[in-house]
Every structure is written in structure tokens, then in C-alpha cells.
Amino acid sequence: MPVLPTEYEKEAVKPSTSSAAIVADALSKSYDGKVVLDAVDVRVAAGTVFALLGPNGAGKTTMVNIFATLFEPDAGQVQIAGHDLARDPEGVRSAIGVTGQFSAVDDLLTGEENLQLIADLRHLGRDDGRRRVNELLERFELTDAARRPVSTYSGGMKRRLDLAMTLLGDPQLIFLDEPTTGLDPRSRREMWDVIGELVSAGVTIFLTTQYLDEADRLADRVAVLDHGQIVAEGRPDELKRRVPGGHISLHFPDPQTSQSAAHVLGAETAGAESPTLQVPGDGSPASLRALLSRLDAVGIEPDRLSIHDADLDDVFLALTGRPTDQPGPKT
């Protein structure tokens, strides 16, 4: 007779008393003396999308893993959906769904069996479980592949199955850790559509991403995490406003002229061979006039110019000192 363990606790799901889905105060975590999260405060209102933006190694995944009860923080208070993370991890688990960076699917089972497994673990009951499994297979366009082992799935299909498994328990709060990393543009767009549907269904979403357009498009609020600290937080448009101006692109007939202009203006060209120059500026008539007269003084005239409003890339650059296409510290 196998000895079965009996130690198991399951607390009744307490209704959330506040409208905050996540409240984290002074959250800290270190590994081997290296500080990954440094007294971070996070507040996510229920029913909103919160994007945590940051380069690789900024601590995004660590934060998700702590919120998802996988790691214990070294210090700090965390409430997830009204449950205290330290005292009631089971309560937290009953309220959340997690889709991580690495697919959390069973490669040896079929897509249908994977979903059925989660339905059984959510104690949905035979008929209810079967209905939900078929519903989700249909919704994520996996019906044709339902009976095939997951090891034969493409990256996009695996990600869809992964998300379907997360949705099976109807969680109130979903963590999406880099949900579109490594996906082709079409799968990425599909993922965005699904996230949009979830939001309209009232689900709170906490997502991490390296892509600014993703955060800009999906999130109600964005926090920028760098070296374990939140360096900026706000609505995407608020953050954009924090960076003065944006920039003006000047197009010259040839790279040499561009170089000379760069010298005059103290700006940097996009490269030695590029005839285009980017200069910080808000695009006001006064600033344009000043810019052009400085070039005029040395006899340089651009072919044309264009004005760019600040986007989150500029915000990121201004806040972390690194452009987004250079995520690591190897600048």
C-alpha cells in the first residue's frame, strides 16, 4: 500500500477587500549577495493591465516568481488579490494564473490531455471540465491539433496552449512573463488580441516585457525596472511626457554633410554612413528656427526634416541610459 501524505491545507477563498489586485511594499530579493530587487513598491488596481518593463536581468522574472508563490522574498509585504503572500500562499494560488517565459506544458501529453490535466487539478468535474477544455481548444485554434503530442507543436501553438491552461481556472489575476518573446509577428498579434479579450472580461493582468510597443499598446500603467529598482511609473502617456520633446530627424544629401552638421550641433549621427541625423527637440517653431539658423551659419541645409514625438523608447533611453535594442549591460 502506498503511503499517502495527508498534509494539505486549503483555505476558503476570501473575497478581496480592496480594489487593489497587487500591493507590494519594500519588496527585496538577493541571490548570492547580488541584489535583484531593491525595496520595490508596486500597486496594481483590479481590472487593469500593468506592464513591467525592463532589460534582461532587471529582475522582472524574479518579481513574477515571487508574486506567483514560487520564490520567497527576503523582505517586504505582499498582498495578492487580498491574500497575504507569506501567510496564505494557497489563497494566492487559488486566485492567480501564470504563463511564464518557458512553456509550462507537458510535452509528453497531447494538447487536450494537458488541458484535461489542469481541469482535473482545478476539480472542475467531468462534464464541466470537458466543456471548458473543448471551449478553450476552439478559442485558441487548437482543435485540429488536440490529439497530437505537444512535442510536435510550434512555438506559437505551445504558447497558446500554455495560456489556455492558465485560463482554465478562471483566475482573477494573470501573470504573463514576456508572453510574446520569441513569437512571430502574427502569433504576437494573436496574443495581444487574447489579452485584450481578457481585459474586457475584467481580469487583472500583470505582464513583463522588453517591448515598448507592447507595453504602450496593452498597459494602463507601466513601470520601468532597472537594476532592481523602479525608475519610473505611470500611464504610458505620462511617461512619454516626462521626456522633453522627442526628436527631430534631419535628412542630408550625403553622409559627409550629415557628419559636418553633427559636429556643428554636437549631435550624434545614426552611423558614419548615414545621411540622417537625430537631434533632441520638441518640434516648436522657435527650436526649429534656432536649429536651422545654426546650420545656416556654416552653410549647411538639410533636404528635409521630420518631427518625432517621444515614444517609450525615448523614455527608456532617458531613464536607463540604454537604448532598448541593447538590453544587456554590454553597451
Partner 1 sequence: MTTLAYTLTDSRTMLRRQLKHLLRYPAMTVLLLGMPVIFLLLFVYVFGGQLGAGLIHEHVAGHGSRSTYLNFVVPGILLMTVGAAANGTSVLVAMDMTGGIVARFRTMSIARASVLAGHVLGSVIQALLGVAIVTAIALALGFRPTASPLDWLAALAILALFANALAWLSTALGLAAKSVETASNTPMFLTLLPFLSSGFVTIASMPPGLQQFARYQPFTPVTDAIRGLLFGGASVAGDILPAIAWSIGIAVASYLWARRLYDRRSVT
Minimum CB distance to partner 1 smaller for 100 or for 236 = 100
Binding to partner 1 by residue 129, rule CB under 8 A? Answer: no
Q: Tell me the sheet residues that pair with 225.
A: 230
Binding to partner 1 by residue 211, rule CB under 8 A? Answer: no
Furthest CA-CA distance within the chain: 93
Minimum CB distance to partner 1 smaller for 109 or for 265 = 109
- Site size toward partner 1 (CB under 8 A) is 40
Binding to partner 1 by residue 141, rule CB under 8 A? Answer: no
Of 26, 38, 122, 311, which one interacts with partner 1 (CB under 8 A)?
122
Neighbour count for residue 79 (Cβ, 10 Å): 20
- Give least dist CB 182 to partner 1, A: 14
- Strand intervals (E) in the chain: 20-31, 34-45, 49-53, 75-80, 83-84, 96-99, 173-177, 204-209, 221-226, 229-234, 246-251, 276-280, 304-309
Minimum CB distance to partner 1 smaller for 69 or for 324 = 69
Minimum CB distance to partner 1 smaller for 93 or for 217 = 93
Minimum CB distance to partner 1 smaller for 116 or for 258 = 116
Residue 128: φ, ψ to 5°: -60, -45
Of 37, 136, 165, 203, which one interacts with partner 1 (CB under 8 A)?
165
Name the residue among 156, 223, 222, 144 with its Cα closest to residue 192. Answer: 156
Amino acid at 197: E
3-class SS of residue 149: strand
Q: Which of residues 55-114 bind partner 1 (CB under 8 A)?
A: 65, 68-71, 90, 93-94, 96-98, 100, 102-109, 113
Neighbour count for residue 248 (Cβ, 10 Å): 21
Contacts with partner 1 by CB under 8 A lie at 1-10, 65, 68-71, 90, 93-94, 96-98, 100, 102-109, 113, 117-118, 120-123, 149, 165, 169
